[in-house]
Structure 1
Amino acid sequence: MKSWLLSFAFLLVSPAFAQTPTSVTLALNWKAEPEFGGFYAAALQGIYKKHGLDVKILEGGSGTPTVQMLANGKVEFAIVSADEVILSQDRNSKNKVKGLFAVYQTSPYIVMSHAEKNYKNLKDVFMSEGILSMQSGLPYYQYLVKKFGKPKVKVVPYAGGVSNFLNDKNFSQQGFITTEPLSAEKAGAKVKTFLIAEEGFNPYLVVIGATEETLSKKPELVKKFVAASREGWIAYLKDPKETNKHMATLNKAFDLQTFNKAAEVQKPLIETKETLGSMSSTRWSTLVQQLKDLKLIKSSPKAEDLYTNY
C-alpha cells in the first residue's frame, strides 16, 4: 500500500501530471515602457507562471483600440484608462468593459514648458502668448478649457516627439511624465512640468480591463491574473533594473538610463497607502460627473458597474 501511495504521489508532481498553464493575452496600448513594468516583471520573474498562467504581452502603439479588442473578444485583458471605460459603457451597453486594477493612482499626463518661462501653474501656460501643442479632442483638454476659459495661448495639434519644443522657448506641449520631459532634459532643455491631475481631472490610468462576460465566465482566471499582476508590480517597484533591461531590448526608443529614470519618476504616482492597484467609488463617480458636465457622455454609469477591486 505504501509503495502504491508513493508512486501515486510521484505521478501527481511529475511533469506529465502538472497542470498546463492557462494561456491569456494582455494587450498594451503602447510600447514596452516603465508604465507597464510590473506586467513584464510578472512574466520575466515567473510570477504569472506560479499562478498557473501563460501570459502573452501584446505591445500596442498610437491608437491601439484596446477597449474594442476586449469587447470583440480578441484578448482576455487589456490596458485601458478610466475615462475610456466610462465612454465605452455610455456608447455600448453590450459586453461592458470594467476596470480591475489601476497602476497609476495619479494620472501621469502633464503639460511641459521651458523652465525659463517661469510659469507658476497650468493656467499661466493657457493664458500665455506662446504655443501649446495638445490634442483638443482629449477629455482633459476640454476639462481645462472649461476650468480656465478660452485659452490665449495658440493651440496647435500634438505631433509627438520633442523637436518643436527644443527649438522654441515659447513652445509648451502635452506629454506623459515618464516620456517627453525626460527626452527633452536628455537633449539639454530645462523643463517644468504641470500634472493635469493637480487641476482636478485625475482618471485612473494604465488600468487592467476585462469584459463583464470574462468576469462572469472566468472568475478564477481574473483573480489569478490580477493577483499575479499585483505581485509583479510590487516586485518592479522594489527593484526595476532587470525588468528595465528586458524592456530596453523590446523598445529601442529609450536607452537603459532613461528606463531607470522613468521608473523612478513614476513611482510616487503608483504607490498608495491602500492595496496596490485598488480604486474607489468616489473617484469613479467624480469622473462620471466630469464627463457628463463636458457633454462627453449621455448616461451616468454607476461606479460599481465600472470597476471591481480584487
Structure 2
Amino acid sequence: MFPGAPARRDVLRLFGAGAGLLAAGGLLTACSDGSSGGKSADGSLKINDQLGWLKLTQFGGFYAAEVKGYYKAEKLSTSFTAGGPNILAWQQVASGKSFTGDDDNTNVLVAVAKGQPLVIYGAIFQTSPFSIISKADDPITSIEDFAGRTIAVTEASRQQFEALVKKAGVKDVRFIPAGTDPTQLTTGQASGYSGYATSQAVALKRQGVDVHVLYLEDLGVPSYGNVLITTRDHLEKQHDELVRFLRATIKGYEYMNAHPDEIGRLVATKWNTGGLKPEEEAATARFQKDLITSPKGVLQVDPAKMQKIIDQLVSVGTIGKKLKAADVVDTSVLEAAYGGRTSLLT
C-alpha cells in the first residue's frame, strides 16, 4: 500500500503513517512460541485473532465466518480482539507472540527488508481503498488533474505524491496536511482529499455529497490492503492450521460480499462496541465488495503484483534494498484452501 495510507477507521481518527493497519496480539492464543492455542472443551483449537484495527466492516468476513459456523466446521474456536494505535501486527507475529495477523504491506515489506522472518500468505483488499477523493462536479481523475489544485494528503504520504507529480511533470500543486475528516473537501479548503474510499467516501455519499474516487491503482501505484502474515517457521510447521483458518475466512468474506447489508449491520450492532451506525456499515460492506473480490477469489495475493509494489517502494526509498517477492509471498495456503476452485460457497 501507499506509504501513509490510513486504515478503514472512524473518521474522527487522525490518519497515520504506514496505512495504520495496526494490529496487536495474535491469532492463536500463544504458548511460549506462539505456535499453539490449546483446545476448547469440545476439542476445537482455540484461536484468538488480533484484528488490524477496530472491529469495522473491513474485517466483517472474519465475523461472518464466526457467526455462520465456518470456523466451527474447521474445528476452530475463535475470538477476535480489536486492534489499536501504536501496536504493529508484524512485530507481534515476528516476535512469536502472534501466530498470524494482518498489517499494511508497506510495514511488512520494510520489516522484511530489515531481516524480520515474515511471510505474506493473503490479502483482504485486492486494491487498496486509499485514494484521492474529490467532488463529482469537480473531479480529479488523473495525476494531471492535480495541476493548479490544493490537495490534502497525509504527512506520511506527501513524499510519494510529490514524487508522482514530479514524474508526471505536473506543476502548481499545493499539498496541505489532511485533517481528521473530509471537511476540507466539503468546505473548499482542498480540491482533493487523501482518505479511505470505504470510510470517508462512503460517509460523504451518505451525507448527500457526490464524490469521485481516484485509487492508487489509477495513479499507477500497485497496492494491497491488509495483507495476512505469519512467520516462515509457523508456515512450515503449522501449515494445516493456517489452511483451516484461511478456508473458513474465505467463506466468511464470500458470505459478506453476498450479504453485505446483513453483515454490515451485524458488525455495527453485535461485533463493534464503539457506536457504529448500522446503515453506514452496511453501505461500507456494499462499497468494498469490488475491492475485495478478484477473478481467482477473495483473499488472494499475487507475487508478481507484490514485486511491482516492492520495486515501487525501493524506487522512492521506502525500502532500502531490493527484495524478491518469491521470498516474501507464499501462496501455498491459498492453494490448499481453495483446492483448485475460485469460490468455496458456490
Partner SS, residue 76 of structure 1? coil
SS in 2 for 1:173: strand
How does the TM-score come out when normalised to structure 2?
Answer: 0.76
Partner of 1:110: 131
Q: Which has the larger radius of gyration?
A: 1
Q: 1:296 to 1:151 in 2, by over 3 A?
A: farther
SS in 1 for 2:137: helix
Q: Distance in 1 between matches of 2:301 and 2:207?
A: 37
Please give the TM-score of this superposition, normalised by the length of structure 1. 0.84
Over 3 Å counting, the alpha-carbon distance change for 1:254 and 1:150 in structure 2 is farther
Q: Which 5+ residue runs of structure 2 have no aligned equivalent?
A: 1-39, 335-346
Q: Structure 1 residues 142 and 129 mapped into 2: Cα distance closer, same or farther (>3 Å)?
A: closer
CA contact (8 A) 2:74 2:248 kept: yes
Greater helix share, structure number: 1
Distance 1:22 1:179 in 2: 34
Cα pair 1:142 1:294 within 8 Å, conserved: no
Q: Is the 8 A contact 2:144 2:170 kept in 1?
A: no
Q: 1:163: how far off?
A: 2.8
Match of 1:287 in 2: 309
Q: Which deviations, in whole Å up to 9, do the C-alpha atoms of 1:79-114 show, x marking residues without a partner?
A: 1233222111012x24x2211121211221111122
**Displacement, 1:254?**
3.6
Q: How many residue pairs align between the two structures?
A: 292
Which residue of 2 is the match for residue 152 of structure 1?
Answer: 172
Instruction: Identify which of structures 1 and 2 has the higher relative contact order when contacts are C-alpha pairs closer than 8 Å and 6+ apart.
Output: 1
Matching residue's letter, 1:193: V
Distance 2:163 2:182 in 1: 24
Aligned in 2, Cα 1:65/1:145: closer, same or farther, shift over 3 Å? farther
Aligned equivalents of 2:209, 2:326: Cα separation in 1: 44
* Superposition map of 1:1-310 within 5 A: 20-91=43-114, 93-94=115-116, 96-124=117-145, 126-137=146-157, 141=161, 144-145=164-165, 147-148=167-168, 152-168=172-188, 170-249=190-269, 250=272, 252=274, 254-309=276-331, 310=334
CA RMSD of aligned residues (A): 2.5
Q: CA deviation at 1:119?
A: 3.4
Q: CA deviation at 1:52?
A: 1.4
Report deviation, 1:243. Answer: 2.3
Q: 1:78 to 1:282 in 2, by over 3 A?
A: same
CA 1:278/1:131 → structure 2, altered by over 3 Å: closer, same or farther? Answer: closer
- How far apart, CA to CA, are the structure 2 residues paired with 1:199 and 1:171? 17
Secondary structure, in 3 states, of the residue corresponding to 2:155? Answer: coil
Structure 2 CA distance for partners of 1:85 and 1:188, relative to 1, 3 Å: same
